[in-house]
């Protein structure tokens, strides 16, 4: 299993960004995928999850209405569209493979760093 | 939201020592509790799933126990490579939540 996130960068408050997570080594469409972030100096925080088909999505209250998770099973890729970014969204964003929305996070990517600052 | 509280926040231990980290949930979560290890500049790795099931490839010195609201991660005969931050995670209900982490330092 390989998971590789990309798209993180420095962005101004109020800006938008799209993160990508490319996966391989398993039947991508059979598994849910989730985003978890690690803010500097803090602990892990769950962000969002999407089912294998893409038909079900869930969000943490802190990002609901601002972030959108989606997936393209033909490209084995999951996305996190982030808008109205705030300083508190600054974090290392990890993507992980899970069996379902309520399952352990079996495999994680290395993460991509998002910094929200003027 | 289910709150997970780990203890201790930090522990400094010597090699070959036995280490116990606890995780307490704010309400009963059955056995939907998992443990991860995160080393500096690495992604988290699943150690224990569903309170006591070892994940594939995890050394046998790592074990988990508990159910309901109280859970324990035990590391027997600690090795230098076990220096890391350890997190518990509940998947009983959304939003899934994590403990604040326990940083383990090897003397």
DSSP string, A54-97: S--EEE-TTTTTTEEEEEETTTTEEEEEE-S--GGG-EEEEEEE
Task: Decide if A41 touches B, using CB distance below 8 A.
Answer: no
Provide the pLDDT for residue B17: 95
Provide the pLDDT for residue B2: 97
Report how far residue B15's alpha carbon sits from residue B17's, in angstroms, rounded to the nearest whole number: 5
CA distance B32 to chain A (A): 8
| Beta-carbon separation of A102 and B49 below 8 A | no
- CB count within 10 Å of CB B11 equals 16
Regions in chain B scoring below 50 on pLDDT: none
| Beta-carbon separation of A46 and B95 below 8 A | yes
Provide the pLDDT for residue A3: 97
A-chain CB neighbours of B42 within 8 Å are 110
Provide the pLDDT for residue B40: 87
Q: Are A26 and A106 in contact (CB under 8 A)?
A: no
Provide the pLDDT for residue A42: 92
Q: Are B86 and B102 in contact (CB under 8 A)?
A: yes
- Establish, for the pair of chains A and B, how many residue pairs have beta carbons separated by less than 8 Å: 55
| Beta-carbon separation of A44 and B94 below 8 A | no
CA distance A13 to chain B (A): 25
Provide the pLDDT for residue B41: 85
Provide the pLDDT for residue B51: 97
A57-73 burial string, b = 16+ CB within 10 Å, else e?
ebbbeebeeebbbebee
Q: Output phi, psi for B80, to 5 deg.
A: -55, -35
Chain B CA closest to residue A106 = B46
| Beta-carbon separation of A106 and B89 below 8 A | no
Provide the pLDDT for residue A101: 84
Q: What is the Cα Rg of chain A in Å?
A: 13
CA distance A4 to chain B (A): 11
Report how far residue A50's alpha carbon sits from residue A19's, in angstroms, rounded to the nearest whole number: 14
Provide the pLDDT for residue A100: 85
| Beta-carbon separation of B95 and A60 below 8 A | yes
pLDDT (tens, 9 = 90+) of chain A, 118 residues, equals 999 999 999 999 999 999 999 999 999 999 999 999 999 999 999 999 999 999 999 999 999 999 999 999 999 999 999 999 999 999 999 999 999 889 999 999 999 999 999 9
């Amino acid at each position: 299993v390989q998971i590789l996130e990309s798209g993180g960068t420095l962005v101004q408050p109020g800006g938008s960004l799209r993160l990508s997570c490319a996966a391989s080594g398993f039947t991508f469409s059979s598994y849910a995928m989730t985003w978890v972030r690690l803010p500097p100096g803090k602990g892990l925080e769950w962000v969002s999850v999407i089912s294998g088909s893409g038909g079900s999505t869930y969000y943490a209250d802190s990002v609901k209405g601002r972030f959108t998770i989606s997936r393209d099973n033909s490209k084995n890729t999951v996305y996190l569209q982030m808008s109205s970014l705030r300083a508190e969204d600054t974090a290392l964003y990890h993507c992980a493979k899970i069996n379902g929305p309520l399952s352990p996070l079996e495999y994680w990517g290395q993460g991509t760093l998002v910094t929200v600052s003027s | 939201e289910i709150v997970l509280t780990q203890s201790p926040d930090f522990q400094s231990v010597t090699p070959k020592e036995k280490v116990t980290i606890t995780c307490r949930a704010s309400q009963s979560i059955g056995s939907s509790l998992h443990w991860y290890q995160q080393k500096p500049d690495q992604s988290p790795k699943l150690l224990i799933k569903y309170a006591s099931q070892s994940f594939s490839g995890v050394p046998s010195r790592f074990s988990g126990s508990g159910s309901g609201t109280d859970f324990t991660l035990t590391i027997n005969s600690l090795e230098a490579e076990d220096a890391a931050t350890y997190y518990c995670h509940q998947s009983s209900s959304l939003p899934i939540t994590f403990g604040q982490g326990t940083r383990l330092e090897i003397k």
